[in-house]
Amino acid sequence: MKENTGGSSPAGWAPFRIEPHFVSRVWGHRDLRPWFDHVATGEPVGEVWLTGDQCSAATGQHAGETLGRLFEAAPRALLGDGAPTHDSPLLVKVIFAREKLSVQVHPDDALARKYGQPRGKTECWYALAADPGAQVAVGLKPGTSIEAVREKIGSNTLERSLKIVQIHKGDMVFVDAGTVHAIWPGSVLLEVQQNSDITYRLYDYGRPRELHVEKGLEAARIETRAGKVPPEVLEDRTVLIDVEYFRMERIAIAGAMPSDRLNGPLPAGARPGLSYLFAAGGKGRISGPGFEPVELPPRSIACVPAEAPLFTVEDLGGLDLIRIVAMWPAGTNKELSP
């Protein structure tokens, strides 16, 4: 496929803001204000997809085109040389749970490919807000066997075998593939995950939705790496999580910061790859020579392509900036390399 380079302008792949996509979920909310100016007229909304394939560019030369189409047309411009995929590797969401989600598990890459899917689903949750006593369920209690999980599904007592984690605003929870888990009400979560929507429901509190017990038990692991991740405070940023598929950083913008500082030090010979800039609070602006400034209102997200020209991020008032970087597991076949 011949790659669309975005025209001869050096700003052809400048950072651009993305329109969110509101996804109905039975356990969601109808009114997402003040987080998003959105009130559902039909089914409640549980997830706001910020980087889904259905989302479209809101600014720049590619305004109106969906992310799915852009990644298909120009994978190298967006992802950089050496990326192991031609499509969007990450899905970023905000989760609004009014009721308990199902107790569920996601497959790893190998199991997903066994069933014809391109990738599995490892994810993390960053608590944008949390009520007092807010909890999530992450993993199985020690001594729980897969057969015991099967029995407890049948007796509607699976919750009793889950590890319960208290969460507060600013907490990061890692949920690697194979972890039996559930999100409960009381928090607003920024979820970053592999771009996969494969979910195997093990228990759903009596809702009339399909369960996937056999595949779920095949995917489930007794022990995983899941749990809270302590932040790593550096001189110019706080690393919230750094794992094989994604890295998240909270960066304080003191007035303005150029993109070379925003990217941080790179390994020798490395070039920046795909990243996203999310305004968890406050507002900012992305500007640079050759392209129109990109406003970054609260809870908006901008895509920063690998081939983006130099730019500057400005704090226009209370900007709480989260940088999300796509990562490639060690040893991954690099299909896009020359």
- pLDDT tens track, the chain, 338 positions: 345 545 445 578 999 999 999 999 999 999 999 999 999 999 999 999 999 999 999 999 999 999 999 999 999 999 998 788 889 999 999 999 999 999 999 999 999 999 999 999 999 999 999 999 999 999 999 999 999 999 999 999 999 999 999 999 999 999 999 999 999 999 999 999 999 989 999 999 999 999 999 999 999 999 999 999 999 999 999 999 999 999 999 999 999 999 999 998 776 666 779 999 999 999 999 999 999 999 999 999 999 999 999 999 999 999 999 999 999 876 554 443 32
d(CA 124, CA 173): 6
Range of the domain at 109: 99-184+196-229
Q: Which of 17, 201, 247, 323 is catalytic?
A: 201
Instruction: Please tell me whether residues 204 and 245 are part of one structural domain.
Output: no
- The backbone torsions φ and ψ at residue 268, rounded to the nearest 5 degrees and listed phi first, read -55, 130
Contacts 24+ apart (CB under 8 A), 79-82: 79/273, 79/274, 79/306, 79/326, 79/336, 80/271, 80/272, 80/273, 80/274, 80/306, 80/307, 81/271, 81/306, 81/336, 81/337, 81/338, 82/328, 82/334, 82/336, 82/337
Instruction: Please tell me whether residues 172 and 287 are part of one structural domain.
Output: no
Instruction: Please tell me whether residues 163 and 175 are part of one structural domain.
Output: yes
Instruction: Please tell me whether residues 103 and 225 are part of one structural domain.
Output: yes
d(CA 248, CA 264): 13
Instruction: Please tell me whether residues 215 and 238 are part of one structural domain.
Output: no
Confidence at residue 267, expressed as pLDDT on a 0 to 100 scale: 66
201 is catalytic: yes
Instruction: Please tell me whether residues 202 and 122 are part of one structural domain.
Output: yes
Confidence at residue 337, expressed as pLDDT on a 0 to 100 scale: 33
Instruction: Please tell me whether residues 216 and 297 are part of one structural domain.
Output: no
23 assigned to some structural domain? no
Task: Read off the tokens for 21.
Answer: 């996509």
Query: 67-90, pLDDT tens digit by residue?
Result: 999 999 999 999 998 788 889 999
- The backbone torsions φ and ψ at residue 253, rounded to the nearest 5 degrees and listed phi first, read -100, 105
- The backbone torsions φ and ψ at residue 206, rounded to the nearest 5 degrees and listed phi first, read 80, 5
Number of domains in the chain: 2
163 assigned to some structural domain? yes
93 assigned to some structural domain? no
The CATH number given to whatever domain includes residue 249 is: 2.60.120.10
Instruction: Please tell me whether residues 153 and 269 are part of one structural domain.
Output: no
Query: 264-312, pLDDT tens digit by residue?
Result: 877 666 677 999 999 999 999 999 999 999 999 999 999 999 999 999 9
Where a domain ends, among 229, 254, 288?
Answer: 229
47 assigned to some structural domain? no
304 assigned to some structural domain? yes
Instruction: Please tell me whether residues 291 and 314 are part of one structural domain.
Output: yes
Tally of CB atoms within 10 A around 26: 15
Instruction: Please tell me whether residues 202 and 124 are part of one structural domain.
Output: yes
Query: 8-33, pLDDT tens digit by residue?
Result: 455 789 999 999 999 999 999 999 99
Instruction: Please tell me whether residues 244 and 296 are part of one structural domain.
Output: yes
Instruction: Please tell me whether residues 220 and 277 are part of one structural domain.
Output: no
311 assigned to some structural domain? yes
- pTM listed for this prediction: 0.94
d(CA 164, CA 309): 45
77 assigned to some structural domain? no
264 assigned to some structural domain? yes
d(CA 207, CA 25): 12
Confidence at residue 82, expressed as pLDDT on a 0 to 100 scale: 77
